[in-house]
Amino acid sequence: MLNLDWSHLPFGYVKTDYNVRCYYRDGKWGELEISSSEFINLHMAASSLHYGQEAFEGMKAFMGKDGKIRVFRWEENARRMESSANGVMMAVVPNELFKKAILTAIKMNERFVPPYGTGASLYLRPLLIGSGARVGVKPADEYLFMVFVTPVGPYFKEGFKPVSMMIARDHDRAAPKGTGRYKVGGNYAASLSAGEEAHHDGFAAAIFLDAREKKYIDEAGPANFFGIKGNTYITPKSDSILPSITNKSLMDLARDMGMEVEVRPVPVEELKEFDEVGACGTAAVISPICRIVDHVTGEEYKYCSNGEAGPVSTKLYKRLQAIQYGDEPDVFNWNTIVE
């Protein structure tokens, strides 16, 4: 057993034993290779470096009380990576290769899967990049798909704590018909300045509005946005947001709990009507939001009066985590047990 301070691991990179790689050359995928190196050998003219031909995924595996490792909804991540690959003209990773790569990466690094009860998990990072040399602007003819894993601690070390966010009026993350719906690095590059500005001013993240009209909520930093109004779970519909698998799962849980679910444009003014709001994604599951500041209109929206997350967000968070760790029956068939 590895001696790591599991409960205090950051959401960061920890070196593990192995990663897996596979190259696409001459129109086909090669054999999956296992490597113990943290480095890749890449042509300096690779299309990923110059023209942003790259996509990634983020997913988790959890150690259960029963000693079994569960991967959460990997088929959804595989499908999304396919969509991202098509979005920036890259070779698509076949489902079987994706599955084999993540399962191999987990099994080869089994000693890094955090023990049950620590709140930690194993984060998986599949990555697809254009590795072929390109000087003219054109898709590459060679691609590298790899998966590395890293143990990550519980996102909220002091428990499930609400955060403050600011509305990014001076920045856009993605254009209406651009690449916002793909999980590609370029969207992150475009969001870094807004994020750093928000951090500098003491906010956890910047909330992006639709780039065309600046009227509707798009995303909450690198996460999807949702609001709770009475018995309804509301989340934005937009061409420029990344379809979060956590959000999709929360919608299923909300329906299962007897709530209504609405996926539609969410105007900024509606912020004053919500009982609870939050950001959702693999890293934190839910980041409850207690305060949203709009510096341009001077509005300040407040939630969770006692500094605690609201009851609906808390219930959704606990139920999703319970399924992920195998504490509750996997009624939606979301988990794949690593054997």
Q: Read off the tokens for 87.
A: 């979005």
Task: Determine the longest span between alpha carbons in the chain, in angstroms.
Answer: 60
Selection from 293, 290, 280, 294 nearest residue 245 by Cα? 280
Our CB check for ligand PLP shows the closer of 59 and 108 to be 59
Our CB check for ligand PLP shows the closer of 76 and 110 to be 76
Minimum distance from residue 240 beta carbon to ligand PLP (Å) = 10
Our CB check for ligand PLP shows the closer of 108 and 167 to be 167
Burial class (CB in 10 A: 0-12, 13-18, 19+), 204: buried
Chain center to CA of 217: 18
Could you confirm whether 248 is annotated as catalytic? Answer: no
DSSP secondary structure string, 243-308?
--HHHHHHHHHHHHTT-EEEES--BGGGGGG-SEEEEEETTTEEEEEEEEE-TTT--EEE--TTSS
Selection from 84, 90, 64, 87 nearest residue 329 by Cα? 64
Minimum distance from residue 52 beta carbon to ligand PLP (Å) = 15
Which one from 99, 177, 183, 315 is the annotated catalytic residue? Answer: 183
Our CB check for ligand PLP shows the closer of 244 and 321 to be 244
Binding site for ligand PLP (CB under 6 A): 58, 183, 219, 222-224, 242, 244-247, 281-282
Our CB check for ligand PLP shows the closer of 19 and 244 to be 244
What lies within 8 Å, CB to CB, of 96 at 6+ separation is none
Our CB check for ligand PLP shows the closer of 16 and 77 to be 77
> Taking a C-beta distance cutoff of 8 angstroms, is the pair 21, 32 a contact?
yes
Our CB check for ligand PLP shows the closer of 134 and 173 to be 173
Minimum distance from residue 220 beta carbon to ligand PLP (Å) = 8
CA distance 222 to 103: 26
CA–CA distances in Å: residue 211 to residues 172, 247, 275:
6, 22, 26
H-only helix segments in 6-46: none
Q: Where do the DSSP E strands lie in the chain?
A: 19-25, 28-29, 33-35, 54-56, 59-63, 69-72, 121-130, 143-152, 163-168, 205-209, 217-220, 223-229, 232-235, 260-263, 276-281, 285-293, 300-302, 335-337
Q: Read off the tokens for 300.
A: 């300040």
> Would you please indicate which residues are annotated as catalytic (active-site) residues?
183
